Amino acid sequence: MSEALEKAQSFEYKHAPSILEEQRPLFHLTPTIGWMNDPNGFSYYKGEYHLFYQYHPYSTEWGPMHWGHAKTKDFIHWERLPVAMAPDKEYDKAGCFSGSATVLPDGRHLLVYTGVQKRLMPDGDIKETQTQCLAIGDGVNYEKWSNNPVLTQEDLPTGGSSVDFRDPKVWQEPDGSYRLVVGNRTEDGSGAVLLYKSENGLDWSLVGSVDASQRQYGMMWECPDFFSLDGQQVLLISPQEMRPMGLEFHAGNGTVCIIGSYDKEKNHFSREHVQAIDYGIDFYAPQTLEIADGRRIMIGWMQNWNTLGEKPRDYRWFGQMSIPRELSIQNGRLIQTPIRELEQYRCNRVVYQNVPVSGETELQNVEGRIIDMTLNIRPVPGDLYNCFQVNLAKDEECVTTLRYQLDTSILKIDRTYSGCSADVVHTRSLMVRHCDGALKLRILMDRYSIEVFVNDGEQAVSTAIFTRQTACAISFEAVGSVILDVEKYDIQLT
């Protein structure tokens, strides 16, 4: 084991136990200690699901990237494992960036990641260059492959950037061969997704480009994923430097889902529908995994590069993963629902039906910060309301609101008054499909986050909140009158 890895492991071992479990989310994964960004290496290995993540154990700031490691049987209970990789080789000294995992024909676990290295360029500049590298292991210990890097600038198409060449997502084809997609920057400076193939998982060659931004959907395309789902082909990307487009895409680091069709033989992908993956404040770099029962599960970093200013001081962790989400396609849209395993941990059911709401109402036993709550909102027959609002994580000073304006069909999440002290984005608005005033919201809260699934998963809205935990009231408000059903559970881990 390298000195850098040993140091990181003993740092975790020594300091992580000082973080109280009550100071973490209950069922969302956080780093063992320090900083976490992208999910990496989401894979099934020897009967368990593994998840690695971009990791800097030594502080709650981004730093030389390691790979943190955890595993789960049910996507809800996470078991922490020792940090799996440190930046300890010439080709990854500046960081082990994002990547993915699969299984080799001989049963070993294969990690595919981006090695970052500082290099003297022909023009005399020192630039970071990125190559794709492998590590092989047994589910706990990993060793970097002796032939690293396996994809370098030599393997790029003409004009492809060796500075922005990262985030390989690997999978195995039904015939046993392997493919990976990786983000790249083309000659026009904007993003592309490249496809590579391998017979054995170790030796790789370029197939070609799958799709490119052409400066339309942001610049560098980070963390691509590419898979078939419900008879269609899906390309997920996390572009940098996006420009806003209506309420669909906001400026900065965004998430984009492109649904289309794919001719595998010709490597030709044609776009049919383009949408945001998540419409909230904090979501980025999601990665998916197809599990044995056929479900395609996606997990994302429930944070965004643009909102890092909003960070609690005196915590020894920062960054959390989203709830794993089941994906499907309906009517050309990506549908996301919280992984069904969560339902096993629901308790203390509280139900209200046909509650008239006008003005502000609290309902007995509807409160909490670790909850799974579904709201069905509908107009009083013949009498359309103006707007409906739910107030979450509330006390006399703090509140995070979800407000639905019926005439515009705009839903807005607002955490301005959630105890924030940084002047970053605290609101997002999204256009919801108009259903004559009917709206269904499933709201998950887990101490430091809110995830909203609108109309059975047609849209997802995720945000971190660092509101003090004593702010746990919930209330409902309407301008005009609505009829409300509430089904609320606490989540408890057994």
User: What residues act catalytically?
Assistant: 38
Residue 404, CB-side half-sphere exposure with 13 Å CA sphere: 29
Q: Is 285 in the site for ligand FRU (CB under 6 A)?
A: yes
Q: How far is the CB of 402 from ligand FRU (least distance, A)?
A: 26
Q: Which position among 88, 92, 155, 167 is part of the footprint of ligand FRU (CB under 6 A)? A: 167
Residue burial 274-310, b: 16+ Cβ < 10 Å; e: rest: bbbbbbbbbbbbbbbbeeeeeebbbbbbbbbebbbeb
Q: Is 100 in the site for ligand FRU (CB under 6 A)?
A: no
Which pair of tokens denotes residue 128? 């970071």
Q: Is 223 in the site for ligand FRU (CB under 6 A)?
A: yes
- The 183-222 site mask, x for binding ligand FRU (CB under 6 A), equals ---------------------------------------x
Q: How far is the CB of 65 from ligand FRU (least distance, A)?
A: 5
Separation of alpha carbons 285 and 225, rounded Å: 9
Q: Which position among 50, 71, 109, 166 is part of the footprint of ligand FRU (CB under 6 A)? A: 166
- The 412-451 site mask, x for binding ligand FRU (CB under 6 A), equals ----------------------------------------
Q: Is 304 in the site for ligand FRU (CB under 6 A)?
A: no
Which pair of tokens denotes residue 152? 């370098």
DSSP code, position 305: G
* Residue matched to tokens 């209200």: 352
Report the residue number, 86 or 357, with the smaller CB distance to ligand FRU. 86
Separation of alpha carbons 472 and 474, rounded Å: 7
Q: Is 225 in the site for ligand FRU (CB under 6 A)?
A: no
3-state secondary structure 119-142: EECCCCCEEEEEEEEEEEECCCCE
Q: Is 54 in the site for ligand FRU (CB under 6 A)?
A: yes
Alpha carbon distance, N-terminus to C-terminus of the chain: 36
E strands, 244-305, in order? 256-263, 268-276, 284-290, 296-301
Q: Which position among 30, 32, 114, 198 is part of the footprint of ligand FRU (CB under 6 A)? A: 114
Report the residue number, 115 or 368, with the smaller CB distance to ligand FRU. 115
Q: Is 65 in the site for ligand FRU (CB under 6 A)?
A: yes
Q: Which position among 12, 38, 92, 211 is part of the footprint of ligand FRU (CB under 6 A)? A: 38
Write the burial class of residue 244 (CB in 10 Å: 0-12 exposed, 13-18 middle, 19+ buried): exposed
Give the interface with ligand FRU as residue ranges (CB under 6 A).
37-38, 54, 65, 97-98, 114, 166-167, 222-223, 284-285
